[in-house]
Amino acid sequence: MAACWPEPIVSVQALSQTGLPTVPNRYVKPAHQRPIFKADQSDAEMEIPVLDMSDVWEKPEGLRRVRSACEEWGFFQMVNHGVNHALMESVRGAWREFFELPLEEKRKYANSPDTYEGYGSRLGVVKDAKLDWSDYFYFNYLPSSLRNPSKWPSQPPKIRELIEEYGEEVRKLCERLVETLSESLGLEPNNLMKALGGEDKVGASLRTNYYPKCPQPHLTLGLSSHSDPGGITILLPDEKVAGLQVRRGAGWVTVKSVPNALIVNMGDQIQILSNGIFKSVEHQVIVSSGMDRVSLAYFYNPRSDIPIGPIKQLITENRPALYKPIRFDEYRLLIRQKGPCGKNQVDSLLASINDDK
Ligand code: OGA
Ligand code: NI
C-alpha cells in the first residue's frame, strides 16, 4: 500500500495568500531553532567564498582555492561556471509561473512519501512535527531510467523543455566539478567519479523550493537546518531576495548572491568519500515578510545501490577511515522519514564506527 502523510497537507503558499496575521503554531519553531537575522549578527560581514571557475579550471592555484573552500566552508559561489545565464533566468521564471498557477492545478502533482516526486509541502512523516514555511516540486533526473517528464509540470508551456536544457547543462557542470574536486583532493581526475559509481550510474534530482511571504519571519524557517544527504548540490538562488544561511561556528552567514552565480555545496556523501576532508555544512533558509522566493536545487548523488565509504587513497595511518560504508538509498531514508535534522545522520555514522572499536 502506498505510504501517506501523517496529516493532511496544507500548501504554505495558499496559507500565506489568506493574509493571516500570525504564523500558525505548526510552523513556530522552538526558540533555539529560530533564525537570527543579519542585523543581529556579529559576523554579519562574513561571506562564503566566490570562485571564478575560469581561473579554477585554468590556473595552477585554482585547485588549492577549491580545496580550501570545501574544507573550510563546504560551500562556494561559482561565476563563469559555463551555464547559460539566460537559461538560468528562464528556468527560474518558468518555475515561478508554475507556483503562481491555481492550487487545483498544482495539486494534480501532489506527492507522497514513497518517492517524494511531485508537488509537496513537507519533508518527513513524523506526526505533529513542526513544519517549514515552504512548498516544493521534486523529481528524479538521473539515471535516465528514472526520468519521467510526464511527471514534470506541463504548465507553463515551455517548462519541460527548459528543465531538460537546464538539467543537461548542470549535469555537465557537475561532471566537470567532480573532476575538479577529485584533483583538489590530490587524486586522479576520474577517481571521485568512479567512487560515486560512474557517470552513467550516478543519480540526480531537482527540487524547486517556493518560500511564500511570511507574516512573522522571526518565528519560523523556510527550510530547517540540514546538510544535504547526497553528493554535490548546485543551487540556483533567487537573486532578488536573500534567504540561504550557512553555518559558521556557532552562527550563520547569510549568502549574498552574486549576479549570475550558482552556489555549490558538498553533501554528506562527499564528506564520507573524502574521509572528512571536505565538509558537508549545515544550512537553512529564512523567509521574508515582504517577498516570496524561488530556488532550484540540483542534487548530484552517488549511484544508490553500492556502498559509499572513504576513498582508499584518503585513508592513512594518521587519518583512519572515519565512516562506515553505507548505500545511498539506505542513507536517504532517514531524511525522508524524519525531515531535516542538522548533521545528525552523518554524525551517527561517525559514532557507529567508533562504537565498534
Ligand atoms: C535545499 C536547500 C536552499 C535554498 O533545497 O536543500 O538547502 O536556498 N535549499 O533554497
Ligand atoms: Ni540543502
pLDDT digits 0-9 by tens, 87-99: 999 999 999 999 9
Please report, for residues 111, 135, 147, 153, 211, the alpha-carbon distance to residue 96 in angstroms, rounded to integers and kept in the order given. 19, 12, 22, 12, 11
Per residue in 79-88, pLDDT (tens digit) is 999 999 999 9
Q: Which cell numbers in the block locate residue 166?
A: 537546464
Which is more confident, 303 or 345?
303
How confident is the model at residue 356, as a pLDDT?
Answer: 47
Please report, for residues 109, 116, 160, the alpha-carbon distance to residue 155 in angstroms, rounded to integers and kept in the order given. 12, 20, 8
Which residue, by CA, sits nearest to atom 5 of ligand 1?
297
- pTM score of the predicted model: 0.96
Please list the alpha-helical segments (H only) found in 27-108. Answer: 53-58, 62-72, 85-100, 103-107
- Least distant ligand from the CA of 209: 1
Residue pointed to by grid coordinates 528562464 = 90
Walk me through the domains of the chain, giving residue ranges and CATH numbers. 28-356 (2.60.120.330)
Band (pLDDT 50/70/90 cuts) for residue 357 is: very low
Nearest to 29 by CA among 347, 357, 284: 284
CA distance 17 to 316: 56
Please state the atom number of ligand 1 nearest to the C-alpha of residue 295: 10
Gap from CA of 102 to ligand 2 centroid (Å): 27
How confident is the model at residue 352, as a pLDDT?
Answer: 57
Per residue in 150-207, pLDDT (tens digit) is 999 999 999 999 999 999 999 999 999 999 999 999 999 999 999 999 999 999 999 9
Best residue among 268, 283, 298 to mutate for probing ligand 1, ranked by most atoms within 8 Å of CB = 283
Q: What type of residue is 170?
A: V
How confident is the model at residue 340, as a pLDDT?
Answer: 82
